[in-house]
Amino acid sequence: MVADHASRKVFIKSVKFILRNYSLDGIDLDWEFPAIHNYRSIVKKRERQHFSQLLREIRMEYNREKRNYLLTVAVAAPKIIVDSAYDVDQINMYVDYANIMTYDFHYFTDFTPFTGLNSPLYARATEQLYMATLNINYTVHMYIDKGLDRSKIVVGIPTYGHSFKLFNANNGNVGSPALGYGNLGQLGFVNYPDICHFMKTHKIDVNVHFDVDARVPYLHRDHEWASFDNPQSVMNKAEYIKENNLGGAMIYSLNADDYEGRCIGLSGSLKFPLAESINNTLNGNNTS
């Protein structure tokens, strides 16, 4: 679609049709990722330029029609992707907000067969070099250094976690060897209510830790290990957003939060405890 002006024009026309006929606020472009077609194939550098051109042409069309539609983008967090996929100065010029996907920093793969934190706020003291870049704080300042206005940075906060199957049930630290996905969740993705249910079911022998460096929790019991977020960790992230004068928070996703009240007793008395904690912190309504 982005390869030439004619096809981009067709796409923009369809965007305008949808926005107008459904009275929507705008469009969020989530392309994972321009110029990168999985990590082992050829990098198509011109897609990076074409993506910037698409943003420019959408913005120009909004301006031409005197519309105040939003134009936002969902963008990667790891530097290795950002360096190849985006002209950050062009993104800054044309979008209203950049929703940074600051999660999935660590999950089980054949190349990363060890436990890790899904969405750490800061690097852990023992992390160095590349591993020390896989956190929200590094990502935010990387984008700022590349020319993205603070006011346009929207930090992604997950309501899900990642589970792992420990190689050794007695070694439940961050970075411990893992055999695969845990039993919790599906293919390693575990919703917050399932985390709560696991902690309630195994409250006698589940080990729950809060990493003081990364400011996120994790748990383990026997061979089961999971990284997740809770009301305290998402409040820490919301406070970070305020302290750094960033644009706001993006939650991924509402259906992975506790919308049925399964976490009541562990996370206060509210449904959607993670979304509520973020909202209350950002708006100065926190009473905890």
Mean pLDDT of all residues in the chain?
94
Nearest to 271 by CA among 215, 192, 212: 192
- 212 inside domain: no
In the chain, what percentage of residues exceed pLDDT 90? Answer: 91
Residue 34 belongs to domain with CATH number: 3.20.20.80
Q: Where are the beta strands (DSSP E) in 63-215?
A: 70-75, 97-100, 153-158, 160-166, 178-180, 189-191, 207-211
Tens digits of residue pLDDT in 56-71: 999 999 999 999 999 9
Confidence (pLDDT) at 269: 67
Residues annotated as part of the active site: 32
- 131 inside domain: yes
In the predicted structure, residue 73 carries a pLDDT above the cut 80: yes
Block residue for tokens 């919301």: 238
Would you say 137 and 151 are in contact if contact means Cβ atoms under 8 Å apart? no
- 243 inside domain: yes
The model carries a pTM of 0.94
- 190 inside domain: no
Domain count of the fold of the chain:
1
Domain that holds residue 45: 5-106+119-159+230-260+275-282
In the predicted structure, residue 288 carries a pLDDT above the cut 50: no
List beta partners, residue 180: 165
Average pLDDT over residues 144-171: 98
- 166 inside domain: no
In the predicted structure, residue 43 carries a pLDDT above the cut 90: no
Confidence (pLDDT) at 89: 97
Would you say 64 and 120 are in contact if contact means Cβ atoms under 8 Å apart? no
Angle, CA 140 vertex, CA 282 and CA 36 arms, to 5°: 125
Confidence (pLDDT) at 29: 98
